[in-house]
Amino acid sequence: MAESVVFIMPWTSLDNIYPDFRGTTASGPILLATILKQAGFKVRLIYEHIYGRPVDKRDLDADWLCLSLKTCMAPRGYEIAKMYREARPNGKIVAGGMHATFMTEEVLQHVDYIITGEAENAIVDLMKNPGKDRVIQGGIIEDLDSLPFPDMSLLEGQKINPSRIMITSRGCPRQCWFCAPAAMFGQFRAVSAERVLEEIDQFDYRKIVFLEDDFACDRKRVNAIVDGFLKRDRGIIWECQVTAGVDKDEELVKRMARSGCQFVYMGFEALTPESLKQVGKRQKIEDIVHSIRVFHENGISILAFLVLGWDTDTVESIRYTIDFCMKNRIERVHPGIVTPHPGTRLREKLVAEGRVFSNDWSLYDGRHVVFRPANMTPAQLQLSMLESWSALTSVGAIARDAISLPYETVMRKIGFMRRPPTMRRLGWRIMARECVQKWRKKDQEYIAGLPE
Ligand code: B12
Ligand code: SF4
């Protein structure tokens, strides 16, 4: 009889995640579950944040438990492993994901096996012939075209979701010193444009979000995908994550817009010259201003990810950064906090300097300070992050956007406005505001307990 598997991506509370991302899924577990199903296993796939309730013993009646562990989810993953041991004392547990890859000793205390790195070529072998080796090196998949298309129907509890997440490349040529995906996935590799389009032809989603680290890294490939969208003319709208620089090819940006691209997500990380230098991204403020101008002129909105708390940051520089985003009318801004994730050089540095004061992994979510910043106290950094979110979602900011709506409608009608509709920014501010208010309440106790 076929062996049964329950594959779980743990979660704790939805409060910690930005509301606009609540239906989003990491691609690894879906792909691995698809591969296991094709190999003859009876598979259940649960992403706890989509499932509708936390998993309990009723969900764990399977021969195998597969656990996907990102760092902030490790404590919840261990709880699930414990529940599974009680429910199925003879069952086996295999874990993977970034936390399992970089914290093998710790994770092995809770599970039977770990596959490090990318697991597609290793998981079936391990689960068909489990041997004595408890840590199996998954390595890197060079030919991403060799992987099957993910079977989204495996996802339990998924309500009808109008958008489809696609991750069509892995790795990044830049290899930034603070970046966990760079440490995990190494150099850039991509699914070919033909195969990306073939997958799109098989589904009828109206919106696609390419959430890989840098969708536009290979210009030839992205041009071919854009061509594909233009030729098909299916009215699909799409969004993607890019790094500043793609805007230098203005023709490409124009074509992206024409083919349905409405949003780009950009890791600005820092917006003062000093912090940009520390981040080491080799981009200047002028480059960022150029990106914003080019995308906006083409009607493409921007979601900017900021990281606060670099050694060059101060309370004032953080305020300046948020003002910059407001002045430049960036549609969505997600300020996060520098986080020393396992596997990164950032962690090595901060640990060596004795500055990491918490290894409570549940706090490693980019929303809690877990190290001593250079120019602020931890509490000041935590408060600055909260103040940043509050400024972005304040009644004043909402009112300013709302007031500009009638003028914008007229300008658009007479063809004098090309920039993205203010409604995109206004809608986000209103949606995020509720979440920020919850954070403010929740964080009071955390801030009070932070070291000086
Ligand atoms: C999609 C995504 C999300 C989605 C979905 C998350 C989910 N739970 O499903 C959303 C937007 C909701 C999200 C939220 C968060 N995310 Co996120 N997310 C991603 C993103 C962009 C893509 C994930 C992906 O598909 N990767 C590609 C696939 C191929 O990799 P994979 O899923 O890890 O799977 C492979 C291996 O890891 C392994 N594997 C994975 N699981 C398993 C299980 C088993 C049993 C085995 C054997 C192997 C295995 O094999 C897979 C196939 O090769 C990554 C960035 C990245 N490049 O990975 C960040 C990333 C994973 N997120 C991260 C973080 C920090 C968060 C947040 C905390 C906040 C934030 N700043 O974004 C929140 C979580 C909030 C909370 N309360 O928990 C970090 C994690 C760092 C770390 N070391 O853990 C990453 C790496 C981003 C970053 N730049 O640092 N995220
Ligand atoms: S550019 Fe972004 S994805 Fe690439 S290594 Fe740097 S932080 Fe990571």
**Where residue 66 sits, what CATH number does that domain have?**
3.40.50.280
Q: In this predicted structure, what is the pLDDT of residue 270? A: 81
Q: Give per-residue pLDDT as tens, 329-342.
A: 999 999 999 999 99
Query: Same structural domain for residues 129 and 167?
Result: no
Q: Is position 109 within any domain? A: yes
Ligand 1 binding site (Cβ under 6 Å of any ligand atom): 9, 11, 16-17, 21, 24-29, 31-32, 47, 66-68, 70-73, 94-99, 115, 118-120, 123, 167, 170, 180-181, 211, 213, 336, 341, 365-366
Q: Is position 144 within any domain? A: no
- Distance (angstroms) between ligand 1 centre and the Cα of 95 equals 14
Query: Same structural domain for residues 167 and 131?
Result: no
Q: Is the pLDDT of residue 42 over 90?
A: yes
Q: Is position 152 within any domain? A: no
For ligand 2, atom 3: residue with the closest CA: 213
Q: Give per-residue pLDDT as tens, 147-195.
A: 999 999 999 988 767 789 999 999 998 889 999 999 999 999 999 999 9
Nearest ligand to residue 185 Cα:
1
Crossing angle (nearest 10°) for helices 378-392 and 422-448 = 150
Instruction: Please work out whether the CB of residue 38 comes within 6 Å of at least one atom of ligand 2.
Output: no
Contact 266, 244 (CB under 8 A): yes
Give the nearest ligand 2 atom to 174 CA: 5
- Separation between Cα atoms, residue 356 and residue 444, nearest integer Å: 21
- Separation between Cα atoms, residue 165 and residue 154, nearest integer Å: 15
Query: Same structural domain for residues 99 and 186?
Result: no
278: helix, strand or coil: helix
Of residues 284 and 257, which shows the higher confidence score? 257
For ligand 2, atom 1: residue with the closest CA: 174
Q: What are the beta bridge partners of residue 153?
A: none
For ligand 2, atom 8: residue with the closest CA: 179
Q: Is the pLDDT of residue 282 over 80?
A: no
Q: In this predicted structure, what is the pLDDT of residue 255? A: 97
List Cα–Cα distances, 418 to 120, 372, 421, in angstroms. 44, 44, 9
Nearest to 246 by CA among 230, 257, 231: 257
Q: Is position 143 within any domain? A: no
- Separation between Cα atoms, residue 12 and residue 447, nearest integer Å: 20
- Distance (angstroms) between ligand 1 centre and the Cα of 347 equals 18
Nearest ligand to residue 214 Cα:
2
Q: Is position 155 within any domain? A: no
Q: Give per-residue pLDDT as tens, 229-257.
A: 999 989 999 999 998 788 999 999 999 99
Query: Same structural domain for residues 232 and 100?
Result: no
Query: Same structural domain for residues 260 and 380?
Result: yes
> What number of other Cβ atoms are within 10 A of residue 202's Cβ?
7
Backbone phi and psi for residue 371, each to the nearest 5 degrees, phi listed first: -140, 165
Query: Same structural domain for residues 78 and 27?
Result: yes
User: What range defines the domain where residue 105 resides?
Assistant: 4-137
Residue 40, by phi and psi: left (phi above 0), alpha (psi -120 to 50) or beta? Answer: left
CB neighbour burial string for 334-362, b if at least 16 within 10 angstroms, e if fewer: bbbbbbbbbbbebbeebeeeebeebeebb
Least confident segment among 78-82, 149-153, 278-282, 377-381: 278-282
Q: Is the pLDDT of residue 383 over 70?
A: yes
Query: Same structural domain for residues 121 and 175?
Result: no
- Distance (angstroms) between ligand 1 centre and the Cα of 401 equals 33
Contact 43, 123 (CB under 8 A): no
Q: Which residues contact 271 (CB under 8 A, 6 or more apart)?
A: 285, 288, 306, 320, 321, 324, 325
Q: What are the beta bridge partners of residue 223?
A: none
Q: Is position 151 within any domain? A: no
- Distance (angstroms) between ligand 1 centre and the Cα of 368 equals 18
Q: In this predicted structure, what is the pLDDT of residue 160? A: 67
User: How many folded domains does the chain comprise?
Assistant: 2
Backbone phi and psi for residue 430, each to the nearest 5 degrees, phi listed first: -65, -45
Q: In this predicted structure, what is the pLDDT of residue 163? A: 87
Instruction: Please work out whether the CB of residue 359 comes within 6 Å of at least one atom of ligand 2.
Output: no
The pTM score is: 0.96
Instruction: Please work out whether the CB of residue 75 comes within 6 Å of at least one atom of ligand 2.
Output: no
- Distance (angstroms) between ligand 1 centre and the Cα of 62 equals 24
Backbone phi and psi for residue 181, each to the nearest 5 degrees, phi listed first: -60, -35
Mean of pLDDT values over 117-133: 97
Long-range contacts of 417-423 (CB under 8 A, 24+ apart): 418/296, 418/297, 418/298, 418/299, 419/296, 419/297, 419/299, 419/329, 420/262, 420/296, 420/299, 420/300, 420/301, 420/331
- Separation between Cα atoms, residue 368 and residue 379, nearest integer Å: 10
Mean of pLDDT values over 62-80: 97
* Radius of gyration (C-alpha) of the chain in whole angstroms: 22
Q: In this predicted structure, what is the pLDDT of residue 204? A: 87
Q: Give per-residue pLDDT as tens, 132-149.
A: 999 999 989 999 999 999
Query: Same structural domain for residues 329 and 390?
Result: yes
Query: Same structural domain for residues 205 and 351?
Result: yes
DSSP one-letter string for 131-150: -S-SEEE----S-GGGSPPP
When pLDDT is cut at 50, 70 and 90, the band that residue 279 belongs to is confident
Q: Is the pLDDT of residue 274 over 90?
A: no
Query: Same structural domain for residues 73 and 194?
Result: no
Helix runs in 259-302, H state only: 273-279, 285-297
